[in-house]
Amino acid sequence: MRRLLPILSLVLALPLFGEAKIEDLSWMTGHWAATIDGVQMEEVWLAPGGGLLVGMHRDISAKRTSFEYQRIAETKDGIVYLAQPGGQPPTPFRLVESSANRAVFANPQHDFPKRILYWRDGEKLCARVEGDGESAEQGCWWRKK
């Protein structure tokens, strides 16, 4: 029993060591742009500050222009991604996975998307939104100087 106690203490403390901080997402910072299938896309993320990353996304095509306000905030419940497509009220997605260059946010109750993934691929910022089954959209943007 004496040998089990230190091991049990370490196992119970593991979530404390693995807790993400907003600064861990600084790899998203920048002005990113690409043209994919005729759609000009831009995404901008300001550096973390005050427990918050602020972002904006814009798509421009011959048929339409759309935008989305985004923010990632430290809350009492952890890190949350708040999406506001077209300026609608925010929809929360909780950070469920993170590493040095990857973050996964989820809201299983939302219609679409249910998961939002971001990762760095060299000098590119990539994102993927996923729904149920096969529904998904993905894009990668080059950093704009």
- Give the pLDDT confidence of 1-41 residue by residue, as tens digits: 444 434 333 333 334 335 889 999 999 999 999 999 999 99
Task: Judge if pTM exceeds 0.85.
Answer: no
Q: Classify 73 as helix, strand or coil.
A: strand
Taking a C-beta distance cutoff of 8 angstroms, is the pair 45, 34 a contact? Answer: no
Could you list the beta-strand ranges (E) of the chain.
Answer: 30-36, 39-45, 52-60, 65-75, 78-85, 91-99, 102-106, 115-121, 124-130, 136-143
- pLDDT tens per residue across span 87-127: 999 999 999 999 999 999 999 999 999 999 999 999 999 99
Taking a C-beta distance cutoff of 8 angstroms, is the pair 5, 16 a contact? Answer: no
Give pLDDT, residue 111.
92
d(CA 45, CA 65): 19
Q: Which residue did the predictor score with more confidence, 133 or 38?
A: 38
